[in-house]
Amino acid sequence: MASLATGAVAFADETPVGENNLGSLGQWAANLLGREPAALSWRQPRFTDLEAWRREARGTVEKLLLIPDMPWKPEARVERQFEFDGVHVEELSWQLPYGPRTRAVFLKPAGSRRRLPGVLALHDHGGISKWGVSKIVRLGPDDTATAEHHKTYYGGRAWANELARRGYAVLVHDTIGFASRNPGAFEEKFEKSLLCAGTLWAGLVLYDDRRALDYLASRPDVDPKRIGCGGLSGGGLRTAFLGGMDSRIQAAFPVGWMTTWRDVMLYKSHKHTWMLYVPGLPRQLDYPEILGMRAPLPVFVLNDIEDDLFTLPEMREADRIIREVYAKAGAADSYRCGFYPGPHKFDRAMQDDAFAWLDDLLK
């Protein structure tokens, strides 16, 4: 270890990639996870029936997420509708069994009268709780509050609008903790308080996203058998959980959010939101295998090579894990992964690749 740069760490099977968050506990914690498939990994030789494995894995994740039983009917109120830049826009709201009323926006091509493929577009985290929908939507020429956010992360494009112009019915909603769904507390205070109530932010985010999916699938102008979801960063995190836990999602494209629990534990935990953490889950499934629970349904993972939220070796390890999951499921052709130059983003080139992939699957 003396030959390494100050603060860098390497264990027996690794090259140095950065500062070890756990100091002298790092080796011990790394050994807890190990490098072998976790207990409920589809890569374990004992699993041979894909559907039986999926039921067991999803059931375990459901229990660990600690989501209260909260029935809800997919009902929304149209607050306003108009057309902007070739897109029909409906500003919506709905009330879930907890928290403030949800704001959402539905977009589709102006003048469309047919049933369209749907996309649940999941907004990012970005360290900004006052924005949700507006991080990936633009509602008019004067709607410029998030223009810099669009420029930094999305190549200056409101990508939900772009998808609608391409022929999709797109729903974007504020998830719990953001914008209309922000009850006031955020991050540490929010999660600590939820833990005291016996639930988790991660579980409530999945509940919010499932209910938005319920609504999107219920619309008469949406084909419920042709629905995808995707998003950058926190939206990629949400895509992994929703895409892994709900087979109504026929195409899932997480962007700028794919790595291993080992990466987060040793090097990057300080970079990430409390939305990620589910006690007990890493011993059951590595992070990529949450998304892998959807196999053989299609996945396109988009990574940024210089993304400082992850280490490149563990992004590549996550790619290897998902490839093995899909190969064992007999669906190697249903998995795609891309590594793009640059920092944390979902730029136009990445969007164009993701949207063309969606076209092939949903159109």
**Contact present, 131 and 178 (Cβ < 8 Å):** yes
Tokens (6 digits) for 348 = 């136009």
In this model, does residue 12 exceed pLDDT 60? no
Q: Which of 229, 230, 249, 247 is nearest to 302 (CA)?
A: 230
Return the pLDDT at 14: 52
DSSP labels, 277-335: --TTGGGT--HHHHHHTTTTS-EEEEEETT-TTS-HHHHHHHHHHHHHHHHHTT-GGGE
Mean confidence (pLDDT) of the chain:
94
Q: What is the pTM of this model?
A: 0.94
Q: Which residues contact 78 (CB under 8 A, 6 or more apart)?
A: 90, 91, 92
3-state helix, strand, coil in the chain (%, to 5): 40, 20, 40
Return the pLDDT at 322: 98
Return the pLDDT at 184: 87
* CA–CA distance, 206 with 208 (Å, rounded to integer): 5
In this model, does residue 7 exceed pLDDT 60? no
Predicted confidence band of residue 17 (pLDDT cuts 50, 70, 90): low
- Name the CATH architecture for the domain at 77-362: 3-Layer(aba) Sandwich (3.40)
Tokens (6 digits) for 100 = 């403030």
In this model, does residue 16 exceed pLDDT 90? no
Quick: pLDDT tens for 189-199.
999 999 999 99
DSSP labels, 47-80: ---HHHHHHHHHHHHHHHHT----------EEEE
Going from N- to C-terminal start, the domains of the chain cover: 77-362
